[in-house]
Amino acid sequence: MIAERSDEEWFSSLPKTGGIYRLINGTMSDRSQDERISAVIALGESADPRAVRPLMDCCGDTDALIRQHATDALFKLRSGRAVRVLIERLKDKREHLVTRERAAAALAAIRSYSAIEGLRDLYSDKDVEPALRSFVAEELQRIPERSDIR
């Protein structure tokens, strides 16, 4: 899998001006799984809005680990543009529970109206696994009931 890096090595590997495009290219399916995962993680750490679209694409990948890391990266970026694909990950009953939970956490972090509605819809579905419903309930409780919801 991916070797552990020190904080300094990790920071120095983050994209600089044109590096974001190398990372985006690194997510392509013709790369090794390790290369792709490293690129997805770095995109999540980049805080670059250009990373959102390729990470959304990775959420639909055939590789479950790529989808999981892409969902986690989108959690870090907290972009409202990702709400639709995060809801898809959350509601996909074939998806791994960890990825579904990360999608729920990302939606709660985004806090847009559509993100919260996606969480509420899943919570109200009685056919959803109890563990996931419980996780979604906890995420919903963390969202303040104030007017700062986007």
Q: Which domains does the chain have, with CATH numbers?
A: 1-77 (1.25.10.10), 79-150 (1.25.10)
Mean pLDDT of the chain: 88
Once rounded to an integer, what is the mean pLDDT over residues 125-140?
Answer: 95
pLDDT above 50: residue 129:
yes
Q: H or E stretch including 20? A: helix 19-26
pLDDT of residue 28: 87
Once rounded to an integer, what is the mean pLDDT over residues 2-18?
Answer: 55
Please report, as a single letter, which amino acid is at residue 36.
R
Burial 121-148 (b: 16+ CB within 10 A, else e): ebbeeeebeeebbebbeebbeeeeeeee
Once rounded to an integer, what is the mean pLDDT over residues 115-120?
Answer: 96
Weakest-pLDDT range from 25-34, 35-44, 77-86, 140-149: 140-149
Whole-angstrom CA distances from 62 to 57, 78, 83, 95, 132 are 11, 23, 20, 11, 22
Residue predicted with more confidence, 15 or 49: 49
pLDDT above 70: residue 150:
no
pLDDT of residue 17: 54
> How does residue 1 score in pLDDT terms, banded at 50, 70 and 90?
very low
Against a cut of 0.85, is the pTM above it?
A: no
First to last CA, the chain: 38
